[in-house]
Structure 1
Amino acid sequence: MDSIRSLQYFVRAVELGSLSAVAREHGTTQPTVSKVVAALEDSLGVRLLERSTSSLSPTVQGQRFYERSKGVLEDYAEAVADARGETQTASGLLRVNAPVALGQFRLNALVQEFLAQYPGMEIELILNDRMVDLVEEGVDVALRLGSELPPNAIARKIGSSPRWLVASPGYLKSHPKLRQPDDLAAHEVIRFAWLSTGGTVELHNGERSVQVQTHGRYRVNNALAIRESLAMGGGIGLCPAWLVQDLLASRKLTRALPAWQGATQDLNLLYPSRRHQPLRARLFMDFLQARFASVSGEQ
């Protein structure tokens, strides 16, 4: 039995959820893939995959074996590259997850730059605002905003962004003037839904910090919707600079209470294992760290 090929088929079966998909990817037939995986199970004496007419998923033992097998394949690929003198040649598929707004406004362009630099690479970029399970969903690198991370996360901070109060000029002109943080209580504050702090806004001016209880009739779980609502004159929002820098530059938004700002927003890279980081993942993370020395939007 070709052990490396068996592991390759098994790992991709877990990731793709289909033996037929593995066969198409490797240019072979579904019965061949099924036979190889079945032989792997026989040699281990353990059922690795649960099969039905419509789905395929790993067993408990299969999930554990998948996590170890993926690391073995990555080590093998690097050993082959090293033997060939190709240690710094990144190749293969990298699965990346990031928040929607960050992906659209920053990461998408950086991915294109990275791909141009490494022609042998492929990147699958999945944008959503939920905290994904890296191992379960086969994600190699995730970008997360804020300091609230999973307790078992392996994280690397790569940047931070100031957060500013912003609103459209039209909104500020037609509503009570803002002179101090307490004046926010008389305004419509648009914020992210489900914030643990609720409507409490904490601001500082370099000398002191204040907390203001705000009110807003609109809350939404998407940063792009908040950005658009602010530009439409829906209210005031406390936003990271990277999200609204272009609207500030075009004067569609303006800063309110410019002497005050919120706590900075951290940007972290998350990855599933300290030990098994393939070259392509390490190079991508180092690339992002260099580009995201600051995500303030002022680069």
Structure 2
Amino acid sequence: MDTLRAIEAFAHSVELGSLSAAARALGTTQPTISKQVMQLEQQLGVRLLRRNAAGLSATDEGQRFYERARRMLEDYEEAVTDVRAGIQQPRGLLRVSAPVTLGQRHLNAMAIEFLAQYPDIRLELLLDDRFVDPLEERIDVSLRLGGTLPQNLVGRHLATWPRVLVASPAYLTARGQPAAPQQLLEHDYLSYASGGDGVLLQGPDGLVSVPVQSRYRVNNAVALFDSVLNGAGISLQPTWMVAEPLAQGRLVRVLPDHTGPAQKAHLLYAPRRHQPLRVRVLVDFLSERIARLPGADMA
């Protein structure tokens, strides 16, 4: 049995959901794919696939084997390409996870620039505000804002942004500009839904906690930003989000001598002794580009 071809047949079957689809992708027949997968199961002594009327799916053992097999196949493909070309040329599929707002505002444009620079790479950008485990969801690189870093992943620090209080000129004209943190209690304070009540600020006199209670909380950063922009109240926002509207005068700093807890950005990826070249060039590219975003501090 050609073990490498059998593993490739198995991986395609998992990804495409059927033996016939795997056969078409590999330019062979369904009986050939079925035989290769069966021989692989016999060699390993475990059942890798479930076959029933509803379709094809990996068993628990099959899913674990698939995750390692896919990385092995990708490394093999890259090694063959390097040998044939005589030089290292990044190629293949990259799956990247990132928060929705940062992805829409900045990462999407970075992805297009990256693809223009590396024409042999394919990229899937998956925008989701929940924490995505790269190991479980076959993500090559995950961009994470804040939160505790998982110990089973490599976390590369990219940048740190302060959070600043902002409001629209119309809101401040109508309600007045707070002169001290405690005056926030007299204003409409808007916050992210999972953040809870209260705000912690760092100012000339040190840390101060203001027990503001938000009448409006929302679990989407774009909706929160738009609410502030439209005059609904005061909000704490990272500088990468508000640098442009502040420069344009569409937003105004509130309590400019005070900042909230900083927001840190990290790239997360699986710990591997030899990362595929396409992952390495993406990590380097994003590290350089994200550090350029407004207000970023590499310290």
Calculate the TM-score normalised by the size of structure 1: 0.90
Superposition deviation, residue 169 in structure 1: 0.8
Are residues 1:253 and 2:251 paired? yes
- Separation in 2, partners of 1:18, 1:244: 48
Show structure 2 runs of 5+ residues with no match: none
1:220 alignment partner in structure 2: 218
Shifted more, 133-142 versus 34-43: the winner is: 34-43
Show structure 1 runs of 5+ residues with no match: none
Amino acid at match of 2:228: L
2:291 alignment partner in structure 1: 293
- Separation in 1, partners of 2:145, 2:194: 15
On the 8 A contact 2:153/2:270 being kept in 1, the answer is yes
Amino acid at match of 1:119: P
Shifted more, 103-112 versus 289-298: the winner is: 289-298
- Separation in 1, partners of 2:128, 2:82: 36
1:238 alignment partner in structure 2: 236
SS in 2 for 1:148: coil
- Structure 1 residues 172 and 32: alpha-carbon distance in aligned structure 2, compared to 1, 3 A threshold: farther
On the 8 A contact 1:160/1:294 being kept in 2, the answer is no
Are residues 1:170 and 2:167 paired? no
Amino acid at match of 2:207: S
Superposition deviation, residue 298 in structure 1: 6.9
Superposition deviation, residue 126 in structure 1: 0.8
- Structure 1 residues 18 and 161: alpha-carbon distance in aligned structure 2, compared to 1, 3 A threshold: farther
- Separation in 2, partners of 1:220, 1:54: 39
- Separation in 1, partners of 2:252, 2:211: 22
SS in 1 for 2:119: coil
Superposition deviation, residue 77 in structure 1: 2.5
- Structure 1 residues 25 and 202: alpha-carbon distance in aligned structure 2, compared to 1, 3 A threshold: farther
- Separation in 2, partners of 1:29, 1:240: 54
- Structure 1 residues 63 and 255: alpha-carbon distance in aligned structure 2, compared to 1, 3 A threshold: same
Superposition deviation, residue 55 in structure 1: 4.4
- Separation in 1, partners of 2:295, 2:19: 44
Superposition deviation, residue 158 in structure 1: 1.1
1:136 alignment partner in structure 2: 136
Superposition deviation, residue 263 in structure 1: 1.9
Are residues 1:51 and 2:37 paired? no
- Structure 1 residues 170 and 156: alpha-carbon distance in aligned structure 2, compared to 1, 3 A threshold: same
1:109 alignment partner in structure 2: 109
Superposition deviation, residue 58 in structure 1: 2.3
SS in 2 for 1:194: helix
- Separation in 2, partners of 1:189, 1:40: 60
Superposition deviation, residue 45 in structure 1: 1.9
1:65 alignment partner in structure 2: 65
Superposition deviation, residue 23 in structure 1: 4.0
1:267 alignment partner in structure 2: 265
Aligned residues: 297
Superposition deviation, residue 68 in structure 1: 2.2
- Separation in 2, partners of 1:61, 1:37: 14
- Structure 1 residues 188 and 77: alpha-carbon distance in aligned structure 2, compared to 1, 3 A threshold: same
Q: Deviations over 1:42-68 (max 9, x none)?
A: 222211122333343322211221232
Superposition deviation, residue 151 in structure 1: 4.4
On the 8 A contact 2:162/2:295 being kept in 1, the answer is no
Are residues 1:278 and 2:276 paired? yes
- Separation in 1, partners of 2:190, 2:177: 17
- Structure 1 residues 34 and 207: alpha-carbon distance in aligned structure 2, compared to 1, 3 A threshold: farther
Superposition deviation, residue 76 in structure 1: 1.7
Are residues 1:210 and 2:208 paired? yes
Q: Deviations over 1:159-197 (max 9, x none)?
A: 1112111111111111143001111112222111122xx
Identity of aligned residues (%): 51
Amino acid at match of 1:273: P
Amino acid at match of 1:166: V
- Two-structure CA RMSD over aligned residues (Å): 2.3
Shifted more, 22-31 versus 213-222: the winner is: 22-31
Calculate the TM-score normalised by the size of structure 2: 0.90
- Separation in 1, partners of 2:28, 2:18: 14
SS in 1 for 2:194: coil
